[in-house]
Structure 1
């Protein structure tokens, strides 16, 4: 039985907790949040108890699930690594590259698992794209295109608009949103050689942030990623397309939505859910967390590693640097 502790009890923690509480072989021990009342509310809803300090929570658990904003990840992960705890950490791994490097190195020295929660790898449609590429169905990947587009996160009890709008904290849409597709593109096409980007991230328009990111892979393949907070509210679109020398595979959420539900929850507000009527274990967040447990218990090799999380952050920050300078950025020379 793995004893799980949650750090940070905002919106993404709710998503994780919906899966943790249904998962066999784990016990939700408790929660730590800088706002004690938020940790107490989580305990009342999901079971377990609130802790008055990070140190107290670490002493009571085997596994740490970090669900706080990226700028706070380093301090938490370093403390958890020093305490010898297995760690799953929400994306992006860190706000700054130096912090991500320090986190990865600390966990390596401590011999603990640091698992970046790059959940797109666990969405069934994206995994199917990767499986078909690995099976040789489209030949050698040559062109990658993807989009992840919606409105600016809605302010409310479970979202902090001020956090997302503060570039120093969130990194804007290129880091907070683009890191998903950068990671998936790298999974499909291999290491990234250089990055070129344009967008609104540095244009002092945080509530309409938008980024176009071009990747050149060491294989010679080219990737095009659109990440946006500038779309109308109520529509969230994801799309992926990979063309190879033997064919093409694609998926678009707007064209293939087998089930649409609009629900209202007093604690969480309105939710628009697009999903398939699949088994709970196939839901991406459940699949991600269950895989993490399988890895730390020795039943599986990690689908995503700490190095993958680090390199996704590197490329996303390189995209921001490209926006700032107007020039392409070579990853081998980038340490910003």
Structure 2
């Protein structure tokens, strides 16, 4: 509910991203939330992909045919789950309409677009939050407390993996170099980079070295990199490595997973936020039932609490509550991703 007692109106802009259905399910469980969705770009997607009104019907959400209709509904907040390359146009449109924004990761495909999005939201007084749910993991929060308390000593290195299936079958745009901005480097580097951003309190990266290739899933003949390894240097001396490959086989029971290890002068600790599950096999193959906290729900509740607290955006006025990760943290991880692309292309370290 809003402070006035009416339901909070939340719009879903696009069904392009696979997370759209998870966000819808989580929002449908919340009291005091009204939903309306629109996916007018569905006609450009492969016919085998469930999009548009059919997707809305499958997920039990009210549907608007156009973005004009969606914003005419006057939502309090919008969740943007479009192709990466369309983030800027939708964020700017939402900011112009006076709406608070939760945008899928990465912030954009180009640094200049990310900067323009942040500027648009600052002018409009709109919240701009990024969808990095892993930072809400109870396991990561415990790790952050270990680091902050000094139990591990001075952090010296971070090793992260974010491995998954090549997302060709679920949403083909993920392997389109224009719509996605790249392949595995774009899809998976930013999650681990965001966790490092939390641990270092937003310390900017200095230098990035990345290698990438198309050896994994070569039979699919996609135009983007399917595997990569990224090294990141920070001014404090911290060094990080991220394996961002689409290395999970197509037959795996789930999308993939993430691990994150911090090594300090006094010890080390590692987490695997998605590892807990009930496994087995059945008539349809392997069984994988994830257990534990719903990170999408924790992300959404943080965003909506800030929307309720801040009220309607006022142009030029900073919202009273800025939920994290905000646009600036999204920009820092975007710059790391961009430097990784440059490094992989030229075969030498790239300055951030």
TM above 0.5, one fold? yes
Where do 1:210-289 residues align within 5 Å?
210-235=227-252, 236-252=256-272, 256-260=275-279, 273-276=288-291, 278=292, 282-289=293-300
- Whether 1:20 aligns to 2:27 is yes
Q: TM-score with structure 2 length normalisation?
A: 0.82
- Three-state SS of the structure 2 residue aligned to 1:169 is coil
- Three-state SS of the structure 1 residue aligned to 2:241 is strand
- Whether 1:131 aligns to 2:145 is yes
Matching residue of 2:63: 50
Contact map agreement 1:63 1:85 (CA 8 A) in 2: yes
* More divergent stretch after superposition (89-98 vs 132-141): 132-141
Match of 1:186 among 194, 197, 205: 197
Where do 1:300-311 residues align within 5 Å?
301-311=322-332
Looking at structure 2, the residues matched to 262 and 287 of structure 1 have their Cα atoms a distance apart, in angstroms, of: 30
- Whether 1:117 aligns to 2:131 is yes
- Counting matched residue pairs gives 318
Seen in structure 2, the aligned counterparts of structure 1 residues 262 and 87 have a Cα distance that, compared at 3 Å, is farther
Looking at structure 1, the residues matched to 224 and 279 of structure 2 have their Cα atoms a distance apart, in angstroms, of: 26
Contact map agreement 1:30 1:47 (CA 8 A) in 2: no
CA deviations 1:102-152 (Å, max 9, x no partner) are 111100111100111012212232232223222322122111001011231
Seen in structure 2, the aligned counterparts of structure 1 residues 3 and 176 have a Cα distance that, compared at 3 Å, is same
Report the CA distance between 1:205 and its aligned residue: 5.7
Matching residue of 1:334: none
Where do 1:87-98 residues align within 5 Å?
87-98=101-112
Looking at structure 1, the residues matched to 157 and 27 of structure 2 have their Cα atoms a distance apart, in angstroms, of: 37
CA deviations 1:292-323 (Å, max 9, x no partner) are 01122239652311101111111101001011
Looking at structure 1, the residues matched to 82 and 276 of structure 2 have their Cα atoms a distance apart, in angstroms, of: 30
Seen in structure 2, the aligned counterparts of structure 1 residues 312 and 274 have a Cα distance that, compared at 3 Å, is farther
* More divergent stretch after superposition (297-306 vs 187-196): 297-306
Looking at structure 2, the residues matched to 288 and 177 of structure 1 have their Cα atoms a distance apart, in angstroms, of: 18
Looking at structure 1, the residues matched to 268 and 347 of structure 2 have their Cα atoms a distance apart, in angstroms, of: 31
Matching residue of 1:314: 335
Matching residue of 1:164: 174
Contact map agreement 1:208 1:229 (CA 8 A) in 2: no
Which consecutive unaligned segments of at least 5 residues does structure 1 have? Answer: 332-336
Report the CA distance between 1:79 and its aligned residue: 0.5
